Amino acid sequence: MTAQDALRLAIPRLTAAGIDNAPRDARLLLAHAMGIAADRLTLHLPDALTDTAQAAFEAAIAARITHQPVAQITGQRQFWGRNVKVTQDTLDPRPETEILVAEALSRPFVNMLDLGTGTGCILLSCLADMPMARGVGSDLSAAALAVAQENASRLHLSTRARFVQSDWLKAIQGRFDLITSNPPYIAATEMPHLSPDVLQWEPHAALTPGGDGLDAYRAIAAQAPARLLAGGRLLLEIGPTQAGVVSQMLAAQGLANIRTLQDFDGRDRVVCGEKPQEGDMCG
Cα separation of 19 and 12, whole Å? 10
44 phi and psi angles, rounded to 5 deg: -105, 5
Provide the domain count of the chain: 2
Show which of 66, 92, 115 is a domain's final residue: 66
Cα separation of 225 and 114, whole Å? 14
In this predicted structure, what is the pLDDT of residue 283? 34
Show which of 66, 91, 107 is a domain's final residue: 66
Q: 257 and 221, same structural domain?
A: yes
Q: 205 and 134, same structural domain?
A: yes
Q: 16 and 42, same structural domain?
A: yes
In this predicted structure, what is the pLDDT of residue 281? 45
Q: 115 and 198, same structural domain?
A: yes
Q: 153 and 29, same structural domain?
A: no
Q: 230 and 156, same structural domain?
A: yes
Q: 82 and 59, same structural domain?
A: no
> Is residue 154 within 8 Å of residue 147, measured between CB atoms?
no
Cα separation of 196 and 194, whole Å? 6
| Longest pairwise C-alpha distance within the chain | 78
- Can you give the pLDDT of all 283 residues of the chain as single tens digits? 999 999 999 999 999 999 999 999 999 999 999 999 999 999 999 999 999 999 999 999 999 999 999 999 999 999 999 999 999 999 999 999 999 999 999 999 999 999 999 999 999 999 999 999 999 999 999 999 999 999 999 999 999 999 999 999 999 999 999 999 999 999 999 999 999 999 999 999 999 999 999 999 999 999 999 999 999 999 999 999 999 999 999 999 999 999 999 999 999 999 999 999 875 444 3
Whether residue 189 is contained in a domain is answered as yes
Whether residue 71 is contained in a domain is answered as no
Show which of 36, 66, 96 is a domain's final residue: 66
In this predicted structure, what is the pLDDT of residue 277? 87
Cα separation of 94 and 97, whole Å? 6
Q: 124 and 237, same structural domain?
A: yes
pTM of the model: 0.94
Q: 89 and 48, same structural domain?
A: no
